[in-house]
């Protein structure tokens, strides 16, 4: 396991630890005393690291996780309790930039949810591509309990995943959702025992990182952008990108390796 901080690829972060295993980068949120609740500094750091990861050719997949009992227990309420309107809007803008950096990162991002993923923490989970959850994980959008509503995209994303009736119940009660129910509602891919969480997430990430980088990048883009397009339009984009991929070096290598019955060596070109 290699620390990327030691290789000076990233600055020394206050709330993040970065480690690389082969082509997988593990990003761990570290603010355990606050259940990893986010403040503006943490938001900026997550934005920064995902913009950097976007450009790194030796990273094929990212695992995002937390320490202690929290994945990310939402925003640090004490930190913004005395904000005026301008400060609150600025805080929200920084948060939206963070979610966008995760969503638009060219590398697939797996959320390894170790504990509480609430409010903005659940919205961060929904910004990821895949979710592996500890059996002790809890999800929720409890902003209604503060007289607020989710501001990081959670309302529309959860509605699209679980449907409007279930989404209204979750949003209007603000209740916590166990990991098994999250799997049933289809925003969790796997539920594992706590001691197996990182291992399972790494296995999934490694399987993805071994594939052709261009194909993975395009798959992420097509699934995300196709959700809001008509079926006919989305399928037209699929065909267009497939045609372009067919002429890539990776596709030529993949086909040649299949014919020769050998493992492919992809270069992302």
- Catalytic residue positions? 123, 143
DSSP letter string, 175-228 = --EEHHHHHHTTS-SEEE-GGGHHHHHHHHHHHHHTS-HHHHHHHHHHHHHHTT
Instruction: Return phi, psi of residue 51, to 5°.
Output: -70, -35
Beta bridge partners of 131: 111
Which stretches of the chain are DSSP H helices? 40-53, 77-80, 85-104, 120-127, 154-162, 164-173, 179-184, 197-209, 213-226, 231-246, 249-260
Q: What is the DSSP letter of 33?
A: G
H or E, element range at 133: strand 130-134
Give Rg (Cα) of the chain: 19
Closest C-alpha among 112, 93, 110, 106 to residue 51 = 106
Is 21 in contact with 61 (CB distance < 8 Å)? no
């Amino acid at each position: 396991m290699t620390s990327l901080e030691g290789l000076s690829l990233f600055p020394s972060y206050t709330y993040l630890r970065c480690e690389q295993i082969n082509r997988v980068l593990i990003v761990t949120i570290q603010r355990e005393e606050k259940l990893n609740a986010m403040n503006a500094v943490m938001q900026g750091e997550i934005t920064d690291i995902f913009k950097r990861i976007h450009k790194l050719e030796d990273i094929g997949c990212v695992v995002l996780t937390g320490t202690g009992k929290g994945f990310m227990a939402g925003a640090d309420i004490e930190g913004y309790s005395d904000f005026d309107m301008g400060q609150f809007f600025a805080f929200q803008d920084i948060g939206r930039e963070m979610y966008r950096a995760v969503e638009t990162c060219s590398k697939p991002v797996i959320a390894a949810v170790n504990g509480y993923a609430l409010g903005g923490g659940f919205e961060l989970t929904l910004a990821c591509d895949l979710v592996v959850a500890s059996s002790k994980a809890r999800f929720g959008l409890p902003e209604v309990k503060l007289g607020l509503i989710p501001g990081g995209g959670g309302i529309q994303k959860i509605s699209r995943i679980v449907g409007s009736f279930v989404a209204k119940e979750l949003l209007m009660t603000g209740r916590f959702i166990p990991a098994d129910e999250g799997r049933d509602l289809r925003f969790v891919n796997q539920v594992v025992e706590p001691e197996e969480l990182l291992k399972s997430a790494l296995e999934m990430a490694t399987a993805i990182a071994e594939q052709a980088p261009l194909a993975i990048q395009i798959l992420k883009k097509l699934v995300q952008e196709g959700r809001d397009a008509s079926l006919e339009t989305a399928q037209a984009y699929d065909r267009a990108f497939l045609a372009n991929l067919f002429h890539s070096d990776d596709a030529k290598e993949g086909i040649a390796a299949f014919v020769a019955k050998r493992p492919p060596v992809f270069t992302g070109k």
